[in-house]
A and B are shown apart, each in its own frame.
Chain A
Amino acid sequence: MLLTTCHSAFRQAQGSLRLLRTFKQQQRSAFARLLSSLAVLEQREGKLQSASLSAVTAAQKLGGQVTGFVAGSGVRLVAEEAAKVKGLEKIIMIENAAYDKALPENYAPLLAENIKKEQFTHVFAGHSAFGKNLMPRVAALLDVQQISDITAIEGEDTFVRPIYAGNAILTVQSSDKIKIITIRGTAFAAAEANGGSAEIINGVDPNVQIKTEWLSEDLAKSDRPDLATASKVVSGGRGLKSKEDFDRIILPLADALGAGIGASRAAVDSGFADNSLQVGQTGKNVAPQLYLCAGISGAIQHLAGMKDSKVIAAINKDADAPIFQVADVGLVGNLFEKVPELTEKLKQ
């Protein structure tokens, strides 16, 4: 008797468990239809920053409707450009010069208001200086724990991101209603700039008055491909000895390959190259087709920024340098001889 009771109780429990599961599945598919993502697009002086188009790709991977967001003065042209981006169904545009420099003090409340109004479930931005500065402030205003620098999307609430300078890969599940996410640009290709026809609408503008002023900027000007998105990167380290040598040895090789230029922290700290060229945990993350480095030992902080490159090639005089443990092609030798030789032979 007792056994039967237990048994039926067990069956009942099993039954309700099954019911619960079906319910959850239904709920999930209903939710999938309601997924609505916002891709925050960075603009500078009326130009859409193509690097932020990776946010559109990430949002598309998730599924559901994808809306783009642009704010600034004279932003109609940017919005029209963004409207052509494949995968975007709508563009929210806010014309107001107050947002030109994307100061988080007013840009964050602006974003938060628009996210609340349109009830987006997911908000994506690049983990660039723009996204890093802005998105955590937005997350705090919405009482959300942001998920930074993701490299993969496993489900509507589950995301993958590197921690400990890329030495461990964390999979996290978010319980927040709104998911605020920054993405690693090199993990998501930029959405195609053509093929879309999104509707442009005006967003809400809370017009928060702030005391922060933007004073000036000093950006390194270069005709070379941008480091973060270049398909080839040539990078130099402490082994270059001086800025003159860095310029004399590394620049011609980069030109021969049509490559962007990177540097290790040691090279940047010693003044061989500009800070913005630093590759690594505290600098940029790159994942080009070819990462060719000379005079870089391969400290874990540097590897964090480049070990997802398709092909890694290294020239170093120390045969035991850790860089050779990850390099697909290693050449032990004096870079002052080998790099110019390589440059000459590549030109032919």
Chain B
Amino acid sequence: MPTPLKILVPIKRVIDYAVKPRVNKARTAVETQGVKHSMNPFDELSIEAAVQMRERKNPPVDDILALSAGPAKCVDVLRTAMAMGADRSIHVEIPDAGQGQAELEPLGVAKLLATVVAEEGRNLVILGKQSIDDDSNQTGQMLAGLLGWGQATQASKIEFDDGDRVSVTREVDGGVDTVRFPLPGVITTDLRLNEPRYASLPNIMKAKKKKLEKKSLSDYGVDEGRRLKTLKVEEPPPRKGGGKVDDVDGMIAKLKELGAI
């Protein structure tokens, strides 16, 4: 009898992927006020992966816990996660997060998650491979390191066998590779893993009744001190379009002029 899965899916609220971010006037952070936010796209894949595991029933899934750490509005992305199929949520409120400085760093998030894993008896954590705001690509690996668990990053395929082992196909440079480890473990999702479902209206209504616990960092004994200090945030140097040419000969001539061929 395979061990039932107790899944933790950490999710992050980020500026919507389609919005072009703007650096604020003080050059201290990216402007987040009044900008559309949504769930980090890789985290949608994590929720979908967890829900698909429940649908496959082998191994059975005991429960799917979604967690987000950040400002009050993180509740929105947790509701979305529950509408997609997570059973319950924890919101670790960080009052000033989102203003650049107070946001937890990946190491802080990993420590928080390691505590939650212990308290909630999790045996599988599925995270996005990176958040599209900070682009660090660290949290899952750090969590696996802190817990001493197996890890599989950039997953494009996840399969369980009867012996509680999970085989994960990973996107690597030049192709894919496959690793296998027994649970517990940490998996981070890549874009090719699945197509996240849309939350239907009835499911959105049901999600409102699902349990959402409020916690604070001190509940988990995590200190929010940062190791990295932001000195400045700038716009990248703009590229000026060089204009258009009329035909292929014009293109070849211009490329030669620019020394590109």
Residues of A within 8 A of B (CB): 101, 103-105, 108, 127-130, 132-141, 143-149, 158, 162-176, 210-220, 226, 228, 232, 257, 265, 274-276, 281-282, 284, 289-290, 300-301, 307, 310-313, 315, 319, 324-333, 338, 341-342, 345-346
- A311 and B171 in contact (CB under 8 A), knowing A105-B151, A140-B107, A162-B135? no
Tell me the interface secondary structure of chain A in the complex: mixed
- Partner of B252 from the list A108, A136, A345 (CB cut-off 8 Å) is A345
Q: Is B56 engaged at the interface, CB distance under 8 Å to the other chain? A: no
User: Cβ of B250 < 8 Å from any Cβ of A?
Assistant: yes
Q: Cα distance A213–B161 when bound, in Å?
A: 14
Q: Please give the distance in Å from A235's CB to the nearest CB on chain B.
A: 14
Tier of interface size on chain B: 35 or more
Q: How far is the CA of A301 from the CA of B239 in the complex (A)?
A: 16
B254 CB-CB contact with A under 8 Å: yes
Of all chain A residues, the one with the shortest Cβ separation from B41 is A282
Would B145 and A164 count as touching, CB distance under 8 A?
Answer: no
Contact, CB under 8 Å: B239 / A137: no
- Interface status of B1 (Cβ within 8 A of chain A): no
8 Å CB contact of B241 from A136, A168, A300, A330? A330
Q: Which residues of A contact B175 (CB under 8 A)?
A: 217-220, 274-276
Q: Pick the contact of A103: B176, B179, B259 (CB < 8 A).
A: B179
Is B20 on the interface with A (CB-CB < 8 A)?
yes
Please state if A345 and B249 are interface contacts (CB–CB under 8 Å): yes
Please provide the 3 A-B residue pairs with the shortest distance between their CB atoms, ordered closest to farther: A140-B145, A136-B141, A145-B227
Asked if B95 is at the interface of the complex by the 8 Å CB criterion, the answer is: no
**Nearest B residue (CB) for A284:** B173
Among B135, B137, B150, B252, the residue within 8 A (CB) of A164 is B135
Q: A-facing mask of B150-175, CB < 8 A → 1, else 0?
A: 11011010000000000100111111
Pair A168/B236 contact, Cβ less than 8 Å: yes
B97 within 8 A of partner (CB): no
Once the chains bind, are A332 and B244 in contact (CB under 8 Å)? yes
- In chain B between 213 and 242, which residues have their CB closer than 8 angstroms to a CB of chain A? 226-236, 239, 241-242
Are A104 and B151 also in contact (CB < 8 A) when A148-B138, A281-B135 are? yes
